Structure 1
Amino acid sequence: MEETINVLRPKRKHSLNTEAEQPEPHKRRRRTVESETEPLTRQPDPSSSNRFRLLSCPSPKKETQSSREWVCNSSTSSAYGEKFVVVSYNILGVENASNHSDMYNNVPPRYMKWKRRRRLIRKEVKSYNASIVCFQEVDRFDDLAHKFRKDGLEGVYKARTGEVSDGCAIFWKQDMFSLLHQESIEFQSFGLRHNVAQFCVLKLQDQLESDVPPDTSMRPCTRSRSLVIGNIHVLFNPSRGDIKLGQVRLFLEKAYKLSLEWGSIPVIIAGDLNSTPQSPIYQFLASSQLDIQRHDRRRVSGQIEFESQYRTFTYNRYGKPFFYRWSAEEVRLATGCEEVTHLQHHLKLGSAYLGVPGSRRTRDRCGEPLATSYHSKFLGTVDYIWHTEELVPVRVLETLPIDTLKGMGGLPSKRCGSDHLALVCELAFRR
């Protein structure tokens, strides 16, 4: 029988009650510039960072060396078509911050004030010259929309179902994109909790379209210059890998369907997946398939660390993999059918940060950021930007080294308006 799960007031921010090993200290080295960027071996390694751990935060210190640097792709610029900047940002909902104040004991109260955080978030997004922004944990949308509209950004919002007030929002630069279509998923309709996802089909403005005769059926560059943007905030609960997989599965299915409906256009996936780079959920996104029987439901997101004697695969005396038992209901939630245990999606996705090699001070052995979120009970990566092969990452904004983050004592901070770091990448259409 399934274990009892408290679903009335789930703790949605990243936290665990178990102690885990601390990351190895980083070696002191010179500030990294593009010519010094070290290529990384992109093999998942569970022993590397990006793990959920209970942290003992030092007292906040004066922020130093907290600037983030752009790292560029080595490909020649001739391979790029039109470029645009995408931001994915969990901005820490006001209600979540209030309900889980124990996670911010090391953060000065003034840094938690919404007006201050909103000002920092707006200033930060503006500094990136963002073309498309995907926000998670938005519970003050009208407030945000009013401010961003002054910066030339228009947006749409999808609130969570249930009692929790936050949701997801997508903004785009009005003079660069036009909205062709929008829709959303309420996962509660599928028995998958109150999380939501949203989609926008955006078309890059084409100045040449005015030269096309009005009586012709020609639609220049429509196929290659339109995009599906998907934004999601996956369930936090670490032990409910079945529900997490179900949400991600439906999300990817809808993104693929929209891509086909609009002429097989490129897809961008952004959001807080509440899953680490070493997790089976990450593997599912990257490889397009996953056999759920080979994974413990409680470890699907990589959030729960077991004692050393537990392994992802258990072998019997004949050396064959042990297949974990999933109840019929868990299988149905994860795959959509009680008889199906093998998941597959049809999008060929690449991670934007994985596509641009970075520094070992900020990347794990997979090539993903070491940390995209930090507070007193969590340090690790759960945020991502994915894209289909019609797009190429031109450059990404590096995150911060672990020692720099720890020197802050926690997020939000003097210069950061959330407990997450914004992920920022410049993408281009392939020529």
Structure 2
Amino acid sequence: MIEERLDEQSLMDVRAKAGKNRRERSANTALCGNNDSRKKRRRFAFSSETTIPTSSEPQKLPSSKRSKPVRSPPRTSRKYEKRRSSESDGHRRWVYSTRDCSRFIDKIMVASYNILGVENASKHPDLYHRVPSKFMDWSFRKELICNAIKFYNAGILCLQEVDRFNDLDELFQNYGYKGVYKARTGEANDGCALFWIEKLFTLLHQESIEFQGFGLRNNVAQLCVFKMNKSKSRSKTSRSFVIGNIHVLFNPNRGDIKLGQVRLFLEKAHSLSQRWGNIPVIMAGDLNSIPRSAIYQFLASSELDIQLHDRRKISGQLDFSSSRGAFRFCSEGTKWSNVLASRSFRWSGEEIRIASGMENVTCLQHHLKLSSAYYGVPGSCKTRDANGEPLVTSFHSNFMGTVDYIWHSEKLAPVRVLETLPIDALKRTGGLPNEKWGSDHLALVCELAFDDEDNVT
């Protein structure tokens, strides 16, 4: 009996030991499997990341009008396509209107871009002292600018600070663009350029504004009337529109001149719209004014009492702090509260005449009901201010903020806009231009649709 019990105990010990060994082997197997799985996941994650080129040489584009197709997974979703597009342009992504615009047929893609004039950059080296000289070279920047234009695929381009028009005109012809140029008057050698894709649009009319002829300095603006070549909607009339391109005076102290330029620009655009049958208006450019400044208020609300504003603060530049959230504005519906008002400074009769175009008229008005394209498409708090405008469209040593805009009349609706870059990402670059961006400004790009019953499927 004792021997039988010993044998039974031995058998139990053997079975227990065997079970323990099996459990240990299973645990080891599972651990190895998890390690292999982790390794596989790490390898997959690394291979799926977008590699940002570190070379200082800009990426060359194919000669065709569209980039070569990229092999995609068997099932391609819209989310995947949007992610790919954003990675292709340095993590700028398209954001879409909350309104259902899928039914709209006739659309226009517009880009506005201050490309940084070569001579302007050379005259102000203090603004770019942290930028390596190779990134300031025009031949390098030109390639980056062209690559960006290629990616935006905009039907119409509004460019400011252009002093190498022939260079751009020759390159853009390869993409199907045709362009017109207006140089600034005076000693400056830059100007405004407007390009359009000939297959998409026909130029019906063009004119320019030399502000010097109105006592408003040497800045210029362009105004063109275009017709869509292939309208797909049921509209019985041709799809025509006015587009304006402007670069407003920089000098923060001369708010009277800034207002005078914007006022005249709006008057000319409205006149053209009426002359061609009350057609829609698009206005783009560098306004050298921050969001919710008096100039912004004038554009958005169609009126402005200049006596409530110090002309030295009309553009908001002098009060602007580049630290995020340091500049606040208040608004209630369409009634604006002016936080920049200063009654301690009185306008002279000459300054009033310059701003309003008439003697003793202090209330400015315009007849275009305008909306900002970016304001009309909600974006991320990382890239937009509290009122929906981009936080940054220009960044150099002395400034980091928004001065560039695309405006549209009420007969057009924004479908999508190309989001700008977060402040923290821009700060890490140390300033613009750099190895990825060819100017000290970021291009604004939006898609606008004709907003009427004839333009729906």
Query: 2 CA distance for matches of 1:226 and 1:115?
Result: 36
Could you say which residue in structure 2 is the equivalent of 1:192? Answer: 216
Query: 2 CA distance for matches of 1:397 and 1:137?
Result: 21
Question: Could you say what secondary structure the match of 1:198 adopts?
Answer: strand
Q: Are 2:91 and 1:75 equivalent residues in the alignment?
A: no
Query: 2 CA distance for matches of 1:124 and 1:65?
Result: 7
Matches within 5 A, 1:27-426: 66-206=90-230, 220-222=236-238, 225-305=239-319, 312-313=340-341, 322=343, 324-426=345-447
TM-score, normalising length from structure 1?
A: 0.78
Could you say which residue in structure 2 is the equivalent of 1:37? Answer: none
Q: Deviation digits for residues 76-119 of structure 1, max 9, x if unmatched?
A: 13552311210000000000010001111111111011111111
Query: 2 CA distance for matches of 1:341 and 1:80?
Result: 41
Q: Mark the CA change 1:81 to 1:190 in structure 2 (over 3 Å): closer, same or farther.
A: same
Q: Mark the CA change 1:176 to 1:65 in structure 2 (over 3 Å): closer, same or farther.
A: closer
Assess if the C-alpha contact under 8 Å between 2:305 and 2:362 holds in 1: yes
Structure 1: which 4+ aligned runs deviate by more than 4 Å? 63-66
Q: Deviation digits for residues 358-396 of structure 1, max 9, x if unmatched?
A: 000000012100000001111000000000011110000
Assess if the C-alpha contact under 8 Å between 2:111 and 2:158 holds in 1: yes
Q: Mark the CA change 1:207 to 1:306 in structure 2 (over 3 Å): closer, same or farther.
A: closer
Assess if the C-alpha contact under 8 Å between 1:233 and 1:271 holds in 2: yes
Assess if the C-alpha contact under 8 Å between 1:138 and 1:168 holds in 2: yes
Question: Could you say what secondary structure the match of 1:161 adopts?
Answer: coil
Letter in 2 for 1:221: T
Could you say which residue in structure 2 is the equivalent of 1:11? Answer: none
| RCO higher in structure (CA 8 A, sep ≥6) | 1
Q: Mark the CA change 1:123 to 1:226 in structure 2 (over 3 Å): closer, same or farther.
A: same
Query: 2 CA distance for matches of 1:157 and 1:344?
Result: 29
Question: Could you say what secondary structure the match of 2:217 adopts?
Answer: coil
Assess if the C-alpha contact under 8 Å between 2:89 and 2:148 holds in 1: no
Letter in 1 for 2:207: E
Assess if the C-alpha contact under 8 Å between 1:187 and 1:195 holds in 2: yes
Question: Could you say what secondary structure the match of 1:365 adopts?
Answer: coil
Unpaired stretches in structure 1, ≥5 consecutive residues: 1-32, 35-62, 210-218, 315-321
Q: Deviation digits for residues 388-427 of structure 1, max 9, x if unmatched?
A: 0111100001000000000000000111000000001111
Question: Could you say what secondary structure the match of 1:80 adopts?
Answer: coil
Question: Could you say what secondary structure the match of 1:246 adopts?
Answer: helix
Query: 2 CA distance for matches of 1:104 and 1:367?
Result: 29
Unpaired stretches in structure 2, ≥5 consecutive residues: 1-77, 80-86, 327-337, 453-457
- Max radius of gyration: which structure? 2
Q: Deviation digits for residues 245-301 of structure 1, max 9, x if unmatched?
A: 000000000000000000000000000000000200000000000000000010000
Letter in 2 for 1:239: N
The alpha-carbon deviation at position 305 of structure 1 amounts to 1.7
Assess if the C-alpha contact under 8 Å between 1:295 and 1:323 holds in 2: no
Question: Could you say what secondary structure the match of 1:232 adopts?
Answer: strand
Assess if the C-alpha contact under 8 Å between 2:108 and 2:447 holds in 1: yes
C-alpha RMSD of matched pairs (Å): 2.3
Assess if the C-alpha contact under 8 Å between 2:89 and 2:151 holds in 1: no
**Bigger mean CA offset, 68-77 vs 374-383:** 68-77
Assess if the C-alpha contact under 8 Å between 1:161 and 1:195 holds in 2: yes
Could you say which residue in structure 2 is the equivalent of 1:43? Answer: none
Question: Could you say what secondary structure the match of 2:106 adopts?
Answer: strand
Letter in 1 for 2:137: K
Q: Mark the CA change 1:349 to 1:323 in structure 2 (over 3 Å): closer, same or farther.
A: farther
Query: 1 CA distance for matches of 2:219 and 2:362?
Result: 23
Assess if the C-alpha contact under 8 Å between 1:293 and 1:323 holds in 2: no
Question: Could you say what secondary structure the match of 1:420 adopts?
Answer: coil
Query: 1 CA distance for matches of 2:408 and 2:128?
Result: 33
Query: 1 CA distance for matches of 2:410 and 2:273?
Result: 13
The alpha-carbon deviation at position 129 of structure 1 amounts to 1.1
Letter in 2 for 1:400: L
Q: Mark the CA change 1:135 to 1:287 in structure 2 (over 3 Å): closer, same or farther.
A: same
Q: Deviation digits for residues 124-175 of structure 1, max 9, x if unmatched?
A: 1111111000000000101100100110011100000000000000001110
More helix by share: 2
State, as a whole percentage, how many aligned pairs show the same letter. 64
Query: 1 CA distance for matches of 2:357 and 2:349?
Result: 11
TM-score, normalising length from structure 2?
A: 0.74
The alpha-carbon deviation at position 312 of structure 1 amounts to 2.6
